[in-house]
Amino acid sequence: MKFELITDLRTVRSGWRWGGVRPASWPEAAPGVPARASNLDWARQEPVRSLRWLIQRGLSAPFARAVTGLRVEGAEWLREQKRPAILAANHVSHADTVVLLAALPDRAREQTVVGAAADYWYRRPMLGRLVGLALNTFPFVRTGSAQAVLHSSSQLLRSGWNLLIYPEGTRSPDGRMGSFTPGVGHLANETRSPVVPIHVRGTHRVMPKGRPYFLPAPVEVRFGKPLEAHKGEGSRAFTKRVEDAVRSLGRGTPATEVMGSWIDRWRAAAPRNGGR
């Protein structure tokens, strides 16, 4: 153990000419490292991850649960996850993400990335950094070429992250569900990931589109049985299936296909037996 901070500061200060001119004899300055990946990897590395764990566990999740009196159904589908999944939810208000993250089981939440619209959230860098830190977002380009987004999304899924996206593309103005863009189907097919349909109800009263502050109101989140694309099923058809599933969840119909039979749910909720 040695404490050499002062000497080190002196060495660095004189070596790199703090407050002075860059010596002419030094070669041309170059970045030396490749430019950072556009999906803002910093948010998914230590120490940001640990910081976020503290924020979510200690602050945002309990707070969200308290404000909304959160009721969750079907969380057992996410407890025994074997591989990363796409979480597809309907979008009603800005409060959706915080509420959904609070509804997820702890383990799933720690491994979840949220797609946030690049043109909205990342226009101002400070805001982008804030949501990146607190919610683990990555920029999701709504307009223009879908290829880059598809690529970064599939990278994240392959690296072990669950991906929470809102296939409607935008918040619903009145609380009713719109139609889903086919991106979710493309992504599922490209990465062969399962899609978990999620319906969130009640957030339009917490923080509707247009009102910048939030008020307490009851919220219910329903998770459905994970869907997988059938062999040869096209992306559009699969997206339609996901959309129908979310709609049924919203209606509350206990369709087996959407909620799973009691036997499936029973098994999904089984306690772990000594390690994976």
Partner 1 sequence: MGRPGAVIEVDRNTPPTLFHYGEGVRLEKLPLGSRIVYAPDPMEPVAHAERAVRRALGHPLEDDPLKELLRPGMKLTVAFDDLSLPLPPMAQPDVRQLVLEEVIEMAAEKGVEDVHLIAANSLHRRMTVDEIRHIVGDRIFSTFYPDQLYNHDAEDPDGNVLIGTTSQGEEVTLSRRATESDLVVYVNLTFVPMDGGHKSLATGLGSYRSVRAHHTVDTLVNSRSYMHPPDSALHYSCIRQGQLIEDTVRCFHIETSVNNHSFPAVANFMQKRETDWTPADQASFLAVKQLTDLAPPGVKRAVFHSMRAPYGLTSVQAGQVDAVHDRTLETVRRQMLVEVEGQTDIVTIGIPYLGPYNVNAILNPVLVVCMGLGYLFNLYRGKPVVRQGGVVIMAHPCRYEFDSVQHPSYIDFYDEVLADTRDPAEIERKYEQCFAEDPWYRQLYRRSNAYHGVHPFYAWYWAAHALQHVGDVIVVGGERSAVHHLGFKCASTLGDALEMAEQTVGRYPSVTHLHLPPLFLADVQ
Residue in 136, 161, 172 with CA at minimum distance from that of residue 61: 136
Q: What are phi and psi of 7, to 5 degrees?
A: -60, -40
User: Cα separation of 274 and 272, whole Å?
Assistant: 6
Q: In the complex with partner 1, which residue's Cβ is closer, 176 or 267? A: 267
Report the residue number, 46 or 174, with the smaller CB distance to partner 1.
Answer: 46
d(CA 56, CA 43): 14
Taking the least distance from each CB to partner 1, the nearer of 192 and 251 is 192
Least distance CB 6 / partner 1 (angstroms)? 11
Is 88 within 8 Å of 179 (Cβ atoms)?
no
Measured from the CB of residue 7, what is the shortest distance to partner 1 in angstroms? 10
Sheet of 71-73: strands edge to edge? 71-73, 220-223, 195-201, 86-89, 162-165, 112-117, 137-140
Residue with smaller CB distance to partner 1, 192 or 211: 192
Tell me the closest approach of the beta carbon of residue 46 to partner 1, in angstroms: 7
User: Which residues lie near partner 1 (CB under 8 A)?
Assistant: 1-5, 8-9, 11-12, 15-16, 23, 25-27, 29-34, 36-37, 41-42, 45-46, 82-84, 151, 154-155, 158-160, 192
Query: Cβ 8 to partner 1, closest distance in Å?
Result: 6
| Residue 211 tokens, joined | 């009102």
